[in-house]
Structure 1
Amino acid sequence: MKISSRFTVATHMLICVEYFSEQYKITSDFLSKSVRTNPVVIRKIMGMLKNHGLIEVASGTGGIHLKIPSDELTLLDIYQAVALPEDQLLFSMHENTEPRCPVGRNISAVLSPALQKAQHTMEESLQRTTLSELIYDLKERVEEETVPND
């Protein structure tokens, strides 16, 4: 099982919005070139980010801007906006297990707490990382790429 790539695409998009904000008008077409996906996919994710109050989109080609400062915007905020399932649970339990089987009738009660703990641990980790930290790391990597080798 994987977490939807919408999470990494959304994070990519938001980093672009902040990283390029002084140089370019950020649009879905601009973002689709960096992500290398269809602008329709970008617009769908933009809608999710907008609905969660993470970005504002100016009418027409006015561009996209963060509504939350990048040092306050966490990976958990992004994850919750685009990747968390409707029921807010990362792991789904299979249903209709055999009630006459001791494992079948008890698996949910035994496994669910462990899965909830794993989700909680992951969410705590995502909460500790801000978009500005990722942008800082990105800028360092870009600077390293442009330093000539001796």
Structure 2
Amino acid sequence: MSTHVQKPGWLTVNVLNRTVAWLTRRGLSVWGSRVLAVRGRKSGQWRTTPVNLLTVDGRQYLVAPRGHVQWTHNMRAAGGGELHLGKRVETFTATEVGDDDKPPLLRAYLKRWKAEVGVFFNGVGPDSPETELRRIAPDHPVFRIEIRK
């Protein structure tokens, strides 16, 4: 498994993520944003972070543009979590997508959010060849989520 991680800088952690999370918690989705809540794999405490919810062919996905970060490790251990938008909370289960199935999802994610996250994909964009998307697939976890009714 890849160990690729791009840690956020001070501006992202202290300004951008906090602003997006604040707006999302108040019901204002910023380009599909949600606040992800997942239990910590060691502490069992709820951990939150803003994420972009991707929908492709009627299915929903969470993509980790920064790589194998803490929420991805926690998601693997917990097998699901919650998505928050305002007062609405959706509980879900998560299944990690295999590298061979990621290219169309990564392409769709980059089409929608390249301006925001493109820097984390090492020059690969929505118009890149399939071979390039396959090359970076191990570095970017993707989870298919199923909302519990």
TM-score, normalised via structure 1 length: 0.28
In terms of fraction of residues, the more helix-rich structure is 1
In terms of fraction of residues, the more strand-rich structure is 2
The structure whose Rg is larger is 1
